[in-house]
Structure 1
Amino acid sequence: MINSYRKKINSEYSHLDTNTIRWSKTLDFIGTCDAVNSGLDIGDRTSFTVELEKVFGCAFGNTNIDLDTDEIQGKYDVITAFEIIEHLYNPLWCLEQIREGLLENGRLYLSTPVGKPYFLWSPSHFHEIHRKRLNFLFKRAQFHIIRQDTFKIHPTYFYFTGFRPFLRGIFEKVQIYELGINK
């Protein structure tokens, strides 16, 4: 069964203001990198996948599988999972599969919303995980945090357009991580 919390990716998705801001801040977090031999972007291919290929200097594959039950094929220097785990029934399974798909010194770049009150969740999210619980999840999946950051995904004026957007200004952030495999 395909996860009903999975968001449909189409050309409209690539042009949303929130994605443009998120992708820009994600590239700022990644920074400049040495070229790698192989990369995998978890989820559907988007225009952001092309940007990742430029940053890492290699072609990126994408997944077209049920991330709650299917295995990731191949071994990669870099795997990215941006805004993925909040849509999954079982994020631990996906993280374990990612770990198996990384080469020994490989890196996982992952982002997900910081947990916020349930009434502010996106309808397509099955989980929104607070930082402390996410750290436990990484540890259970045998990852360690190399570095982390948080950022907002809306322009400042958005948070003053109503009561709910104002609450989003207080609670809504994206947490982003660079992770390595525990040895």
Structure 2
Amino acid sequence: MNAWEVNFDGLVGLTHHYAGLSFGNEASTRHRFQVSNPRQAAKQGLLKMKALADAGFPQAVIPPHERPFIPVLRQLGFSGSDEQVLEKVARQAPHWLSSVSSASPMWVANAATIAPSADTLDGKVHLTVANLNNKFHRSLEAHVTESLLKRFLTTKRNLAFIRRCRR
């Protein structure tokens, strides 16, 4: 049986900021409201990915998700042009603006659980995308993460299923 392992890393998005959104995460809380540098963070991430690839580790890059994620703000009742929606949210609910602007999809370690084909009864790779629904800003990631992983993994014939954890 041929097996292969790929390292997945998420690229830091332009809206990366330290908002302290992950209650219970000491690093998140400690760095809350500090100034961030998304460009520098993205460069650091790319350098790490290149170092791994240069060392012979297959490397996949997960692109940033659409942020701010305005469709969620519309579901929450905000209306108008995209600019008007963002202005209203910034005034009325800045915590929601922070959540829908979070670059947290870069943390792909919690994005999915994968069971390799050698460990499954049907001999296929089983993948379950996490819903991360205990944190509002992380719950917005599942749909896009699922789509990205499907694109990457469905080219392989031994993929059994891709599904999202139920909420």
TM bracket, shorter-chain basis: under 0.3
Q: Which has the higher helix share?
A: 2
TM-score between the two structures when normalised by the length of structure 1: 0.26
TM-score between the two structures when normalised by the length of structure 2: 0.27
Q: Which has the higher strand share?
A: 1
Which structure has the bigger radius of gyration?
A: 2
